[in-house]
Structure 1
């Protein structure tokens, strides 16, 4: 009975805040508030930036994951650890690092400023903050996917005359795809919920850099209705993403 009581206590603690939020957010004012300019701007900024982040993650993260899964080279373990580091770093620390790199007086920021490119406190800064904090989730899942592919199947394709590029697209990619899709879901969820690095590196400008999470924080200081609506949207989206990940994981439990 003690185990049941402790389990119920934890479940209630985790579920009640979400239930209270949905109870306050799912009201007749949901749709009118959802159609307000501030809410629509936040949704648009989040959608555009997270989709851009996903595209960059796939383009840049897939080759890295493949190399780490298939090749061993000096420093590969250190590189693998460094790529996982943003997962455990506090987002605020990530924001400071991005500012020191891409800020006006940063390592790369100063040369970029001379070239007429301003990164900090722009939509590009939102994308970079999301990319830094979320890409490792995709890389980890993609690496696991490439490791799970049977090398004999690839070898058979090469023996049948397929080029390495064709074997990758026709054999390796489809077999690893469930892992890649799971990684994309986790990556998008992390990018969508990014806050600390974004507010430090990109600011909170409505219609430009104010994402859903920043809009919730901003609305709490003035008007609770948009905060409740956006929080409700985030809960629904988060539940859908987690359910998707669970369904994908059930298809390959070895991941």
Structure 2
């Protein structure tokens, strides 16, 4: 009884630190929610027909699809390149490791337009990579350029999340599999990879989200064919807010729906891991 009473008394007491934390949460949540919901509600209430027109506009649908598809390709390439990189950084110590980690994180902090200029310099028609590959694949004003730009800015998110996942897996589990005769690739594929899968999924989701939201680097290297953010910018500069806002709302609704579904899958995976 005394223990129960003390717990009840504890529940009745308000911790000042928690009050501050919940206040911070409320302010941040309000800031994000009111910004997005106000735009969506204004569009629905004041100009719902504009939203319907955007849905029927083939150029809008093509731009949104290209955003999603290019983001998927960038995420796939990030996964193929980032997972082995993350495993090496998590498991091996070697000279220059910290420098390599810093270089791989540069796209996170570099301004987007700077990234675009750098990509254009190397992947453009006269660039170090773009010139010799011009007859095979064109990056300037092509979907390949869009994917490359998205890959550059989004890959660190997947790589860092994967590295944290591999670091969370006890190396002794891998060693146990190796001691039983499993080669390194089998130990990785059937032991380490499944145990780090939640981090890989989370990193992939964040990588995809970052890729489809990219604008600055994309317009520098591949203004055409237009992705969603580029089309919104083009409509805003040429026709104003009334023509660009419906596309922005539609893009938010589509990406938000997909993002929520992916987050639900990730949360379900997390509960499955705990069980």
Q: TM-score range by the shorter chain?
A: 0.7 to 0.9
* 2:12 paired residue number: none
The aligned residue for residue 110 of structure 2 is: 89
Residue correspondence of structure 1 range 1-255 to structure 2 within 5 A: 12-26=30-44, 28-29=48-49, 30-113=51-134, 115=135, 117-203=137-223, 205=224, 209-220=225-236, 221-222=238-239, 224=241, 227-236=244-253, 237-238=255-256, 241=259, 244=263, 247=267
Summarize the Cα distance change of 1:10–1:222 in structure 2 as closer, same or farther, 3 Å threshold: same
TM-score by length of 2: 0.79
RMSD of aligned residue pairs (Cα, Å): 2.9
Distance 1:232 1:127 in 2: 23
Paired with 1:8 and 1:138, the residues of 2 have a C-alpha distance of: 29
Q: Structure 1 248/227 Cα, relative in aligned 2: closer, same or farther at 3 Å? A: farther
Decide whether the 8 Å contact of 2:78 with 2:155 is kept in 1: yes
Q: Tell me if the contact between 2:55 and 2:250 (Cα under 8 Å) persists in the aligned partners.
A: no
User: TM-score of the superposition, structure 1-length normalised?
Assistant: 0.85
Q: Which has the larger radius of gyration?
A: 2
On the 8 A contact 1:182/1:248 being kept in 2, the answer is no
Return 5+ residue gaps in structure 2 as ranges.
1-19
Q: Give deviations 1:11-39, integer Å, cap 9, x for gaps.
A: 55443321211102346433442131121
- C-alpha spacing 1:194/1:249, structure 2 compared with 1 (3 Å): farther
- Contiguous gaps of at least 5 residues in structure 1: none
**What is the number of equivalent residue pairs in this alignment?**
247
